[in-house]
Structure formats: structure tokens, C-alpha cells
């Protein structure tokens, strides 16, 4: 089967459709990547014409889901961006918990948006287990959401490669994983703290129903969106946060160019954005 080459018109057709459905924007530099993914799906479906496939994903929700899973490639690992997580664990989390204790509230809600294969929300669960001395007296809800159905299945399995756990401190690896030469299985005490759900960050109705979170992690996700979509998603996140809640983006992402609603707070470990 010779490599698929989309005409400019066909590329624009898929580009616009993907952006409208998911918020993800494929520029010209990613044309080859998109062609390779469409080619794989054509072969899987027994089709040859990309326009016939375009019609299919407009009509068949299951194939649309498979297509979206094929173009959203998970790239993550436990304790990614350690300095930011250190700031969260040692400075921000204690501060938020102290305020809650003063009010007689002992509940924490965390949302990992674009959680991929689950390493991020499980990392957060480990941090909470380690940092909250009175953990058992708290009601903890950690939610991981993603648009990739295959990734969500892996989240629920919670079985990881050595590469995924390469940055996990040795003590935590021994404490929270069952290991063999080729895989690391997360222990039930961590797994039970996180729930997972399908969510398209470009779905206005679903996003407007997300409320009451103390922390939102959406790291290295907005880089795949165009500016307009990113602004919209950040606005949804603002509404989803409790007052005094924090949002965390990836190291190469900036809130300041997308929203002026958040307060920039300085900590010893860096900068963070809070909803006042």
C-alpha cells in the first residue's frame, strides 16, 4: 500500500473537522503525521478513499472515537516536571489544606485534564498520601479525564513500563508499586483514589458542568490547541475552580496570554496561578 498523500483541500477538510470536534489544531508541519494516521484507519476499515473515510467518521461515533485515539498520542510519565510538583506538594497543598482546616472543611478535589494513560493523577494521589499526615480524615476525589478511549483503558489497568516510572523516587516505587523486570503494577491503595472519565475539553456543555475543584492540572495539553480554543478552555477551568484553587499548566505554557482572571502567586519553588 503506497503512502497516502492528502490534497490540500482534503487536508483542510480533516484539519477543520478535527479542530471543530476536539479543539486540536494540526498545522501544515503535521500533515505527514495526519496522513499516516488516516492511512492506518483506512486499512483497518478496508477503505481506500480518504474522503470516504471522512464521511464515515462524520456518521459513525465509534470510528470517530478510534480516529481521535489514533491522533492523540500519549506522552507522559510519573512525577513529570518534578520542580512544579515539589512546589505543589511542599508549599501550595499545605497552604490550601490549612485554610480548609480553619473552615472545618476536610475535602479535596483534584482534576487532571488530559490525563493520558494516568501517570499524572496517580502521581497526585501518591503526593497526597505522602503529604497529608491526617490523610484518612480527608475526603479525597481525584478525577482524570481524557479524549483518548485507549488511554483511559490503560489508566484503569494501572500497569506501567520502566520508562513510565523512571522519575519515581525509589522509596515511593517500593511503597506503591508491585514490580517485575518489565512492568510496574500500581497498588490498590493508590488506584482506588483516582476515577477516570471520557471528556472532550472542547465540549461546552460538559465543561460547564465541571465545578468545585481545588486543583486543576492541565499540563502539556493546550499546546495542541489553537489560541481561541485555549482561551475558551482556560475560561472553563476558571469556572470549575473553587475560590483559592490553583491551576497548573506545562512548563512551556502560559496563562497570562490566555486569561487575566487568575492571580499570579509567588512561591519559593516558582509561580502559580490562583482563582481569587
How far apart are alpha carbons 26 and 37 in whole angstroms? Answer: 12
Buried b (16+ CB within 10 A) or exposed e, 81-96: beebbebbbebbbeeb
What does the pLDDT read at residue 1? Answer: 59
Q: Give the domains, in start order, of the chain with CATH numbers.
A: 8-71 (1.10.155), 82-274 (3.40.50.150)
What does the pLDDT read at residue 50? Answer: 96
Please say whether the beta carbons of 53 and 38 come within 8 A: yes
What does the pLDDT read at residue 158? Answer: 97
Instruction: Write the CB contacts of 220 (distance below 8 Å, at least 6 apart in sequence).
Output: 75, 76, 114, 250, 252, 253
Averaged over successive runs of 10 residues, the pLDDT of the chain (276 residues) comes to 88 96 93 95 94 96 94 90 96 96 96 97 98 95 96 96 96 95 95 97 96 97 93 97 96 89 92 94
Cα dist from 150 to 31, 68, 73, 79, whole Å: 23, 10, 10, 22
Please say whether the beta carbons of 75 and 82 come within 8 A: no
Please say whether the beta carbons of 59 and 238 come within 8 A: no
Residue with cell string 485554610: 99
What does the pLDDT read at residue 228? Answer: 94
Amino acid at each position: 500500500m503506497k503512502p497516502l498523500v492528502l490534497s490540500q483541500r482534503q487536508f483542510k477538510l480533516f484539519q477543520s473537522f478535527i479542530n471543530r470536534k476536539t479543539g486540536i489544531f494540526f498545522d501544515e508541519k503535521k500533515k505527514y503525521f495526519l496522513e499516516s494516521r488516516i492511512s492506518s484507519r483506512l486499512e483497518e476499515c478496508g477503505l481506500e478513499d480518504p474522503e470516504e473515510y471522512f464521511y464515515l467518521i462524520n456518521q459513525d461515533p465509534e470510528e470517530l472515537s478510534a480516529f481521535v485515539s489514533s491522533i492523540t498520542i500519549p506522552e507522559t510519565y510519573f512525577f513529570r516536571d518534578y520542580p512544579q510538583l515539589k512546589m505543589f506538594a511542599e508549599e501550595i497543598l499545605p497552604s490550601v489544606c490549612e485554610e480548609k482546616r480553619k473552615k472545618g472543611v476536610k475535602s479535596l478535589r483534584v482534576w487532571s485534564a488530559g490525563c493520558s494513560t494516568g501517570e499524572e493523577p496517580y502521581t497526585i494521589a501518591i503526593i497526597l498520601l505522602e503529604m497529608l499526615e491526617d490523610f484518612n480524615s480527608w475526603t479525597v476525589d481525584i478525577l482524570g479525564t481524557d479524549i483518548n478511549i485507549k488511554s483511559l483503558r490503560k489508566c484503569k489497568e494501572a500497569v506501567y513500563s520502566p520508562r513510565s516510572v523512571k522519575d519515581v523516587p525509589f522509596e515511593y516505587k517500593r511503597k506503591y508499586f508491585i514490580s517485575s523486570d518489565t512492568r510496574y503494577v500500581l497498588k490498590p491503595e493508590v488506584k482506588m483514589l483516582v476515577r477516570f472519565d471520557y471528556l472532550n475539553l472542547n465540549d461546552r456543555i460538559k465543561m460547564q458542568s465541571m465545578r468545585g475543584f481545588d486543583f486543576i492540572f492541565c499540563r502539556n495539553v493546550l499546546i495542541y490547541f489553537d489560541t481561541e480554543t485555549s482561551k475558551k478552555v482556560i475560561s472553563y477551568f476558571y469556572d470549575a475552580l473553587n475560590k483559592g484553587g490553583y491551576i497548573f499548566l506545562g512548563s512551556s505554557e502560559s496563562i497570562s496570554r490566555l486569561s487575566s482572571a487568575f492571580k499570579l502567586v509567588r512561591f519559593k519553588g516558582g509561580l502559580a496561578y490562583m482563582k481569587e
